[in-house]
Amino acid sequence: MASLLLFVATAVSAAAVARRDYASDDPLTSCPGYTASNIVKTSSGLTADLTLAGEACNVYGTDLKDLTLEVSYDTETRLHVKIQDAANDVYQVPESVFPRPDTQGSAEQSALNFNYTESPFSFTVSRSDSGEVLFDTSAASLVFESQYLRLRTKLPESPSLYGLGEHSDPFMLNTTDYIRTFWSQDAYSVPEGANLYGNHPVYYEHRETGTHGVFFLNSNGMDIMINNTAESGQYLEYNTLGGVLDFYFVSGPSPIEVTQQYSEIVGLPAMMPYWGFGFHNCRYGYQDVFELAEVVYNYSQAGIPLETMWTDIDYMYLRRVFSLDPDRFPLHKMRELVDYLHAHNQHYVVMVDPAVAYQDFPAAFQRGVDDNIFLLRENGSVWKGVVWPGVTAFPDWFSANVSSYWNNEFSLFFSPEDGVDIDALWIDMNEPSNFPCYFPCENPDASAVGYPPEPPPVRSPPRPLPGFSCDFQPEGTDCAKTEVRSLEIRDSTPRAYFDNLVISLRQAEGQQLGLPDRDLLFPKYAIHNKAANEDSWNAAEGGISNKTVNTDVIHQNGLAMYDTHNLYGSMMSIASHEAMLQRRPTVRPMIITRSTFAGAGTKVGHWLGDNLSSWHHYRLAIRSMMAFASVYQVPMVGADTCGFGDNTTEQLCARWAALGAFSPFYRVHNSLDMIPQEFYRWNATTVSGRKFIDIRYRLLDYMYTALHVQTLDGTPMVNPVFYLYPQDKNTFALDLQYFLGPALLVAPVTEENSTSVDVYLPDDIFYDWYTHEQVVGQGKAITVENQEWTDLPLYLRGGIIVPLRAESANTTTEVRTKPFEILVPIGKNGKASGRLYLDDGVSVEQAGTSDITFEYADGVLTVSGTFGYKTDELRVIKVTFLGVGGNSKSNKRTTNNVVTVEVDKPLTGTFTVEVDKA
């Protein structure tokens, strides 16, 4: 949830960048580059010294004279190239935040080949089998300065590029006059052409000859420029404010293989609980616990399955983390609400922000001071910013005691015995956002005027809620309410200085803590960070510190926020994952975060931030979701269904209710002062919600299996169409339709007031989800008509078997008791295959799992695999074959060549099902 008051300025800034103001090459033309020497080759790579080849140019900093080159053939498909300072002083991403991948390769076996030119030094990465060049740095001289690095690679004309997130730009990136800026910011309305919440400096390039990936491991602020000029041709250029040149190249050659190989670098995604795929509801602005209960009740009355109720910062006392508003969200009533949800097999989640109120209540601030875990100023005082509760302190995720502090706060506040017993966690504002206190934020108390906002009126229960306790019933109800002593809150401000706060040594040589004597507030190179009032202000005006923590703040381990800013959200994610595990050590944590860095998917999922209720943002949700799931390896992802900011409409929300049902993370959420948009508010959204939650819940095991596979080897659970049809040029730019898992093509209506949509079908066999009618794709679009507000075209891909539950239910717990139907859509070659993974849905360590394979050929479905997960409900009651043709005496058959075979087979061992052939 972002700072709404900043939207106007942000929108103006985003609109002003139609023409990008590139940094001129002129001052860099005098940079001499480097010369390679002392080259030592080994069976697994090479090393060399790089020496400045002439007089220093010192354009945006001081040129470093001595560098080292290290090349490692990590695996058969991965090449690692790192250029750093010889003294090992320059900051590098800490391994505690980003563990480095294992290496076990050799040059002889590698699919990639590293070549170099000694002077001026440049290098190429090419395919070993064909010699095709994938990366060529001879496009411009290498620049390695104290506060600026440049490396440029040539590209083929009009390349198909993907990634470089987080952004709202087209899935296939623009390749002319285009800049992608990496600098986390609180980005209300997720504008196009702007840096957003997270940073994933990886791109995939897809060519007719194959796909490859390039990952740049660097957390400093940067611009990646893509352009095509008469002088330079087509190129991609890295411009960073620091760090080292640390590249990983993966060879593919298919898109899916590239993302699998990328997962070996950043880590495999975390497995989520089964119930996490249920339908979630939230709103910023719920008045009190009574409104939460009423929403839960209303969903039940409307017959719309609600799996999880979420609460934004409304529950906090004056927006302070680790506190409850004693008048509107008192503890005993919150516990009763959570008990009600748990008794009905539902779940509860709340938001936690990183910034802790600089107040005596709650005691979280004083405990943080006692543990010395906050970011500090040079004088030893706590660095103060301003967020929702007013003046705040920010945890230093590099401090020695931060894990024990964070774990303790979670143990206390979220205690199952006497706290709010949440089932998952939502973390926000972790860019970190410091939105009302503009740089230099020298007077946070003045900036905090108006924060926290005035809370809503206190009220008694407004109406009867059958099934809820007496505490939720109106005054005069004949029942006994819980009597509790009112909470005494000491609202006072702590002193400015604390004797126990210790500032660690600021710098140490040779430990990758960052070069000394840098200007950490005012770098000479201005990245295009849209949190600054103007792009140029990111240099001399300190714009990189605007609306966030100042970049000259030094962590307790000696690192500077200048270097680590982009890691803050991921470090909060790591700490929160540990805190959730120590609360419930045996169950998988589900954490949804806003700010991410490469590798975040190993701990958390991501919602796509503070979008708007518009048709444009409805469309943006598809490409952004695809990028996180299929490129960045963060598969538990989704947008705020129906939009967060602005008012939705019945038509838009009905369409979005359908679309959201086919994203991994499915939650409706909107903002304070906007009209309510729970699905039961309109007839069309009620119908759409019921219809598509029903389909989603029947597909839960298919989705759960797809996520499980991604956690094993990185195979994406969401596929852009070109991932599955990489030879079809028409698929390269598609970003309004996609595959959920390997089988289900999702192709929504995307225009307001339209009842038709053009769906591109590659040269393959498909089947209409609803009618099972075969549709022969011919490598062109078909127009699907008569799509009302509550319709969404879905197609099954021939050749991929889909296990689904025979019917849906009101909760995911109940869904797990339903028997299975197996859909067998036969492919062009007359065959089909599929997979089903089963476990208990929540445990970190499983007592037994099943990994079941389905193979169809020659009229016989064979079910085999491992069958370690056993319950009485695991039965197949129906197998439906699509596209079999012929006649049959013993089976039900339709005119669409569909055969349904009713069976009663336990999913505890191998069996076969035969189809009569004519």
Residues 808-853: pLDDT tens digits? 999 999 999 999 999 999 999 999 999 999 999 999 999 999 999 9
Report the length, in residues, of the chain: 918
Q: How confident is the model at residue 916, as a pLDDT?
A: 76
Q: How confident is the model at residue 826, as a pLDDT?
A: 98
Burial class (CB in 10 A: 0-12, 13-18, 19+), 304: buried
Q: How confident is the model at residue 17, as a pLDDT?
A: 33
Segment 369-380 shows an average pLDDT of: 94
Q: How confident is the model at residue 105, as a pLDDT?
A: 82
Helix (H) or strand (E) holding 425: strand 424-427
Beta-sheet pairing, 200-207 with 233-240 = unpaired
Q: How far is CA 809 from CA 276, 294, 680, in A?
A: 15, 21, 17
**More confident site: 18 or 488:** 488
Residue burial 631-657, b: 16+ Cβ < 10 Å; e: rest: bbbbbbbbbbbbbbbbbbbebbbbbbb
Give the contacts of 456 (CB within 8 A, at least 6 positions apart): 287, 288, 328
Per-residue pLDDT of 625-672, as tens digits, reads 999 999 999 999 999 999 999 999 999 999 999 999 999 999 999 999
Per-residue pLDDT of 308-364, as tens digits, reads 999 999 999 999 999 999 999 999 999 999 999 999 999 999 999 999 999 999 999
Catalytic pick from 246, 535, 563, 610?
610
Give the contacts of 423 (CB within 8 A, at least 6 positions apart): 275, 308, 347, 348, 349, 590
Give yes or no for a contact between 900 and 880, defined as CB atoms under 8 angstroms apart: yes
Distance separating alpha carbons of residues 560 and 564, to the nearest angstrom: 6
The pLDDT > 70 percentage for the chain reads: 95
| pLDDT band at residue 21 under the 50/70/90 scheme | very low
DSSP string, 728-790: -GGGTT--S-EEETTTEEE----STT---EEEEE-SSEEEETTT--EEE--SEEEEE----TT
The count of C-alpha atoms lying within 13 angstroms of the C-alpha of 22, restricted to the half-sphere facing its C-beta, is 18
Active site residue 768: no
Catalytic pick from 205, 409, 428, 640?
428
Q: How far is CA 605 from CA 190, 244, 853, in A?
A: 18, 28, 28
Give yes or no for a contact between 131 and 51, defined as CB atoms under 8 angstroms apart: no
Distance separating alpha carbons of residues 353 and 365, to the nearest angstrom: 13
Active site residue 431: yes
Catalytic pick from 431, 791, 839, 851?
431
The mean of the pLDDT values for the chain is 94
Give the contacts of 343 (CB within 8 A, at least 6 positions apart): none
DSSP string, 330-348: -HHHHHHHHHHHHHTT-EE
Per-residue pLDDT of 24-62, as tens digits, reads 557 899 999 999 999 999 999 999 999 999 999 999 999
Q: How confident is the model at residue 894, as a pLDDT?
A: 53
Residue 169: pLDDT above 90?
yes
Distance separating alpha carbons of residues 111 and 818, to the nearest angstrom: 47
Q: Please tell me the pTM assigned to this model.
A: 0.96
For the record, the structure tokens of 804 come out as 């689904």
Beta strands in 269-380 (DSSP E): 280-281, 308-311, 347-352, 356-357
- CA dihedral (408, 414, 419, 421) positive or negative: negative
Give the contacts of 62 (CB within 8 A, at least 6 positions apart): 56, 145, 146
Give yes or no for a contact between 350 and 420, defined as CB atoms under 8 angstroms apart: yes
Active site residue 26: no
Q: How confident is the model at residue 871, as a pLDDT?
A: 84
- CA dihedral (617, 620, 625, 628) positive or negative: negative
Q: How confident is the model at residue 489, as a pLDDT?
A: 85
Q: Please name which of 361, 135, 36, 94 lies closest in space to residue 243, comparing C-alpha atoms.
A: 94
Q: How confident is the model at residue 521, as a pLDDT?
A: 98
Neighbours of 145 (CB within 10 A): 22
